[in-house]
Each structure stands twice: as C-alpha cells, then as structure tokens.
Structure 1
Amino acid sequence: MKNYPHPIIAREGWLFIVVSFVITGIVTYKWGVWSIPLWIISLFVLQFFRDPGRTVPDDEKAVLSPADGRIVVVEKTRDIYGERDALKISVFMNVFNVHSNWSPVDGKIEKVQYFPGKFVNADLDKASIENERNALVISASNGQMVTCVQVAGLIARRILCYVGKGDELTKGQRFGFIRFGSRVDVYLPLSAVPKVTVGEKVYATETILAELVDEQN
C-alpha cells in the first residue's frame, strides 16, 4: 500500500460533507436563518474529517502515536492478539480529534484480526475487549512485536482498515480511519520504555509513545 496523500480533508468524509452542505444550502435558500443549526452541523462534519499532513521523527527506536487524542492507559497487561504479556498504551480519540490512523512502527503485518462487538464508551478500559475492534500484529523492523488495535467507541460505527496480512508498513503510514469517537490500543514488549503518561495529549506520528529496547542487551 502506498502512503496516503494528504488532501486536507479525509476521503472517508467526502460524501458526508457534500451531502451535509447541499442540504444546508437548500434549507438556507428556502428558510434563511432557520438553517443556522444545519450550518453548525455541517462545520462540525467538516472539522471531523480534516486530515492534515504530519511529520515523522527520525528515531529508529521510537514507537509513534497511531492517533490523535489523550492517553488513558499506560500499563502492563496481556496482549491477547499477540499472545504475550505486554506494555499497553491507549489513546482515546474524542469527536474533535483527527480520526485517521497511522502505523506506529516500520514493519510487516503478521496477522489481522477483526472482532464485532459492542459500542460502549471508548474511554472505559472494557472497551478494549468488548467493543468492535480490528487488530494488526506487526513484526517491527528490529524483530520485535507491536500490536496496534483500532477500537470503535460509543458513537463510532465503522472501523476502516486498508492493509492486510503480509503488507509492509512504514512508520507514519496512514492505514485506516475510525468514524466518530474511538480509541487505539498499542501493545509493546515489556522491555519498551514509555515516554507518555496518563492524561497527556498526543498527536499522531509526531508524539513518541515509547522506545523499543534491544532485548538482547
């Protein structure tokens, strides 16, 4: 998959934006000021699907944030997708965050797993195991395993993933999108050193979540 060109507005939202503004324009033409609530909604839809270009730090050990949002979890837990104990870092995305998802590392996708599920608030820990989700198990360029999981939220109703097993990812490559509030969980080797704390605001590809440590040392 080639790197996604950044058109400022995500392609996943083009239809929603066009429909929203066409309806708003018609209502404005016929009823004037009564269209103000629709203009607010249309502007919200436009900002939700914004998709700005991002810079990628030049750091081979860095694990980048796959999404914009706020850190809600930094803990050691079980990675059920990679079948191992791991360091878990979770990014919660509200409806005002950019909702594109980018690869946290360079590597090859070893496994893709999709799970239908519930749509509880993505800010809650149980969302990681109960909500609709899509997991990518990645063999990073240094040989270590990194699992990146897209998790649907209370409002989200569709997870979009454009890569599959065997695909090569480059750090910062756009691989998917989640429509409306959600979260992304990243599972790392226990030896990884976290660089963020709970409550911290992060930006996709620009914020370093953690650093991978050579386990042979």
Structure 2
Amino acid sequence: MRMRDTFLKPMHPEGRRFVAAFAVVTLILFLIWEPLGWIGVGLTVWCYYFFRDPERVTPLGAGLVISPADGIVSLIERAAPPPELGLGADERLRVSVFMSVFNCHVNRAPVPGEVVKVAYKPGKFLNASLDKASEDNERNSIVIRMRDGRDLPVTQIAGLVARRILCFTREGAHLSAGDRFGLIRFGSRLDVYLPEGVEPEVRVGQTMVAGETVLARLDEVAS
C-alpha cells in the first residue's frame, strides 16, 4: 500500500457539496484573518474525512453477521424491533454501534439477503448513545431476509447533531454482506436485531469496523 493511500481515502459523493462549502468558507476566513483561515482548513479536512468511503474486505463464510457501522458497541440488550416493521413485540438481542463524528458514516449490510421492508419514522435528535434513542429518535429501518428465511432488522438512528438519514436501498433489492446501504450525517447509531438464540461475539466498548468485524455467527446458536 502506498503512503498516499493511507491518508487519502475515497469520499462518498454525498460529501462533495459539504466539502466544497467548507472550502469556500475557509477562503473567506483567510480574507478576514489568516488564523481563522487555518481553523477553516482543519474543519474542511475533518469534513472530508467524515464522508470518507474506504474499501473494506468483508469476511467470507456462511452464517456471519458483519458490523454495519464503524464505531463502538454502546449497548447489548434485549428489545423488540421497531413496531413499524411489523415483526411483532417479541424481544430479540439488540447490538447497538455508536458512531461519533470522527467515524466513517457509510452503513453496510450485515448479512446477504433480500430487503423485504424499509420503514422511516420521524423523531427526536437525542444523544444516540442513550438507550431511549432507539425509541425516540428519528430512524430508518430495513429488514433483510436471509436465504434460510430468517429476518434480520437493521435500524439507522439519528443522533444529537445528525439531521438526515440516507437509505440507498429499497424493498426487493438483494444485498451482499458488506454492501453499502445508507449513510447518516453527523454522529449517529446502528441497531442490529439478532435472530432468536444467536449470541453476539462482541462486547460493549469494542471497536467495530463496518463491513469487516464479525458481530455474530448465525450457525452458533446458544444452547
């Protein structure tokens, strides 16, 4: 790998207009006072890295559930999927990955399968690391139906400073594990609801890499 590739990552197209706006403001700040301009340079670089979209090497193997987001595992608990998905009130083990404003915010499919449901719900913009953010915050959920017929819900949740959830997939689409399916600006959370009997292979506080970190194994059912 070349040194340049270590620092220069591909940028998601969604970020181009934001980086351009930051750059214009930076030029104005230089005209006003040079030290302000250098602060603008730092913020422009941050904006570029926020929208980075690096290539990921997704592990191959049947039954793997891959992390859909970069960030830190903030919660592991039992909870019912969002009611708008129509999956009933039975609780599942939910793994929440919190993304700070310094994480890559491109979201990736945790398992291969068909998208059988996409549901958006408006809401608040509480700190996404809080438990009640799953119920109160703006969110967008998808349900991926795997080859064995089991459904795996994934929910994008807006955070304290996030003001838009983007979903790039639609009902009827077929995803491979690691495929990009959405993005959230700026600071947010992803919830994954595991099928009954499946235990996570991660712990609270663990760092996750979207499209690469194994979150759980579907073929290892708790006895």
Q: If the length of structure 1 is used for normalisation, what is the TM-score?
A: 0.91
Structure 1 residue 89: Cα displacement = 0.5
1:162 pairs with 151, 160, 168, which one?
168
Equivalent residue runs for 1:41-190 within 5 Å = 41-80=43-82, 81=85, 82-83=87-88, 84-190=90-196
Given the superposition, is the C-alpha separation of residues 37 and 214 from structure 1 closer, same or farther in structure 2, using an over 3 Å criterion? closer
Find the aligned partners of 1:199 and 1:128 in 2 and give their Cα distance.
18
Find the aligned partners of 1:214 and 1:51 in 2 and give their Cα distance.
31
For residues 24-81 of structure 1, the C-alpha deviation after alignment (integer angstroms, 9 at most, x for no partner) is 1243256433312212221221111111110000121110000000001112222233
User: Aligned-residue CA RMSD in angstroms?
Assistant: 1.7
Find the aligned partners of 2:108 and 2:182 in 1 and give their Cα distance.
7
Structure 1 residue 206: Cα displacement = 0.7
Asked whether the equivalents of residues 193 and 213 of structure 1 are also in contact (C-alpha less than 8 Å), the reply is no
Counterpart in the other structure of 2:217: 211
Q: If the length of structure 2 is used for normalisation, what is the TM-score?
A: 0.89
For residues 160-200 of structure 1, the C-alpha deviation after alignment (integer angstroms, 9 at most, x for no partner) is 00111111111100011001110000001121121000111
Q: Which runs of 4+ in 1 moved over 3 A?
A: none
Asked whether the equivalents of residues 76 and 190 of structure 1 are also in contact (C-alpha less than 8 Å), the reply is no
Find the aligned partners of 1:143 and 1:176 in 2 and give their Cα distance.
23
Counterpart in the other structure of 1:3: none
Given the superposition, is the C-alpha separation of residues 32 and 77 from structure 1 closer, same or farther in structure 2, using an over 3 Å criterion? closer
Structure 1 residue 100: Cα displacement = 0.3
Given the superposition, is the C-alpha separation of residues 86 and 34 from structure 1 closer, same or farther in structure 2, using an over 3 Å criterion? closer
Counterpart in the other structure of 2:3: none
Amino acid at match of 1:162: F
Find the aligned partners of 1:118 and 1:77 in 2 and give their Cα distance.
19
Find the aligned partners of 2:31 and 2:81 in 1 and give their Cα distance.
54
Find the aligned partners of 2:73 and 2:31 in 1 and give their Cα distance.
44
The residue matched to 1:166 in structure 2 has which SS?
coil
Find the aligned partners of 2:32 and 2:139 in 1 and give their Cα distance.
43
* Count of residues paired in the alignment: 210
1:20 pairs with 12, 22, 31, which one?
22
Structure 1 residue 94: Cα displacement = 0.3
Unaligned runs of 5+ in 2: 1-8
Amino acid at match of 2:64: A
Asked whether the equivalents of residues 191 and 213 of structure 1 are also in contact (C-alpha less than 8 Å), the reply is no
